[in-house]
Amino acid sequence: MLRPVLPLAALAALAACAYPYTPPALSPVTQPAPPATGAPYTTAAVPPAVQEARAPVTILISIDGFRPDYLDRGVTPNLSRLAATGVSAAMRPSFPSKTFPNHWTIVTGLRPDRHGIVANSFIDPARPDETFTMASDDPFWWNAAEPIWVTAQKAGIRTATMFWPGANTAWGGVRRAGGHGEVDGGTRPSDWQQFNQAVTGEQRVAAVIDWIRRPAATRPRLVTLYFDTVDSAGHAYGPGDARTTQAVAAVDAQVGALVQELAALEQPANLVIVADHGMAATSSSRVIALDQLVAPADARVFEAGPYASFYPATGRDAAVRAALLRPHAHMTCWAKGDVPARFHYGANVRVPPYLCLADDDPGGAWSIEKTAPAGPRAGGNHGYDNEAPDMRALFIANGPAFARGKRIGDFDNVDVAPLLRDLLGLPAGQALDGDDRPFRGLLRR
Binding window for ligand AMP (CB under 6 A); candidates: 26-34, 177-185, 225-233, 258-266: 225-233
Q: How far apart are CA 271 and CA 42, in angstroms?
A: 37
Identify residue 157 by its one-letter amino acid code. Answer: I
The pair phi, psi for residue 389, each rounded to 5°, is -55, -35
Binding mask 94-113 for Zn ion (x = CB under 5 A): -----x--------------
Q: Which of 113, 146, 191, 231 binds ligand AMP (CB under 6 A)?
A: 231
Residue pair 364/282 in contact by the 8 Å Cβ criterion: yes
| 3-class secondary-structure state, position 248 | helix
Q: If binding is defined by CB under 5 A, does position 231 make contact with Zn ion? A: yes
Contact call for residues 255 and 78 (beta carbons, < 8 A): yes
Minimum separation from the CB atom of position 232 to Zn ion (A): 7
- Does 22 engage in binding with ligand AMP (CB under 6 A)? no
Residue 187 falls in the annotated catalytic set: no
Beta pairing, strands 360-361 & 364-365: antiparallel
| Count of residues in contact with ligand AMP, rule CB under 6 A | 14
Task: Give the contact letters, 246-285, x = binds to Zn ion (CB under 5 A), - = no.
Answer: ------------------------------x---------
Catalytic residue, chosen from 30, 76, 99, 224, is 99
Single out the segment in contact with ligand AMP by CB under 6 A; choices: 215-223, 227-235, 236-244, 404-412.
227-235
Q: How far is the CB of 337 from ligand AMP (least distance, A)?
A: 25
Largest distance between two CA atoms of the chain: 97
Q: Where are the alpha helices (DSSP H) in 213-350?
A: 229-237, 242-264, 317-324
Q: Specify whether the backbone of 181 is left (phi greater than 0), alpha (psi in -120 to 50) or beta.
A: left
The residues with which 311 forms a beta bridge, in sequence order, are 300
| Cβ-based neighbours of 127, under 8 Å, separated by 6 or more | 140
Residue 163 in contact with ligand AMP, rule: CB under 6 A: yes
Interacting residue with ligand AMP among 94, 99, 159, 348 (CB under 6 A)? 99
Annotated catalytic sites, by residue?
Answer: 99
Which residues of the shown chain bind ligand AMP in the complex (CB under 6 A)?
A: 64, 98-99, 120, 134-135, 163, 165, 195, 197, 226, 228, 231-232
Which residues sit at the interface with Zn ion, rule CB under 5 A? 64, 99, 231, 276
